[in-house]
Amino acid sequence: MTNSVIDVNSTAVLVIDMQNDFVEEGAPLEFPEGRGVIPAIQKILDAARSRRMPVIYAAHVHRAGGADMGVHRDLYPPVAAGEALVDGGRGVEIHPDLTPRDGEPVIKKHRYNSFYATDLEMILRGLGVETVVLTGMTTECCVLGTARGALERGFRSMVVADACASCDYPDLGAGAMSAAEMHLAALRVMSLTSSQLVETDQFLARLP
């Protein structure tokens, strides 16, 4: 049920790609919109931790030398040049305003979907998780990819709309879209195909 009480014993919060290389001002892959959702994610983390809900982070990284870049090499020049998302560097660390606590896993991923070629599914099943609460960025890319990955593995997902952010898209042949438009479009897709949508206040109100 849409407004049912959330079972904290079978629900985990996932923070996606809130890394320095994406969030910090002047970062090589900076999405300023990401800074705007930090307060909402902080509220969600505080509530989850106080109820002993699992908190898991996903971080997009690539090995030095780029053996695992794949097509990302063509899509993102700073990644191809080794200037961003280099495993072991400060840029891939979670932004200090959202620092993981001891025992909270940080999943290293090489693609948009946090489940792909990672041990996220193994961790969730080991914790008895049935529903993942998705926060982070970008809404249309790694959040949507992870929501689809959850669906395909039999997990329910809940997307906290105001705790996710998108970015402006240039016209690359299909027309430009603002960050707000892209965010809304991705939410609409997920609401129909994979996920339940909530706002931060709604999520908090449904916790026991």
Whether 142 is catalytic: yes
Residue tagged active-site, from 17, 21, 141, 162: 17
Determine if residue 82 is left, alpha or beta; phi over 0 gives left, psi from -120 to 50 gives alpha, anything else beta: left
- Can you name the residues that pair with 86 across neighbouring β-strands? 62
**Token pair 């049912």 in the structure block, residue:** 4
Cα-to-chain-centroid distance, residue 149: 12
Helix (H, G, I), strand (E, B) or coil at 55: strand
Residue tagged active-site, from 21, 108, 141, 142: 142
Phi, psi for residue 188 in degrees, rounded to 5: -65, -40
Cα-to-chain-centroid distance, residue 128: 20
> Distance between CA atoms of 169 and 180, rounded to whole angstroms?
10
Whether 21 is catalytic: no
Residue tagged active-site, from 109, 141, 164, 167: 109
Whether 17 is catalytic: yes
Catalytic positions, written as ranges: 17, 109, 142
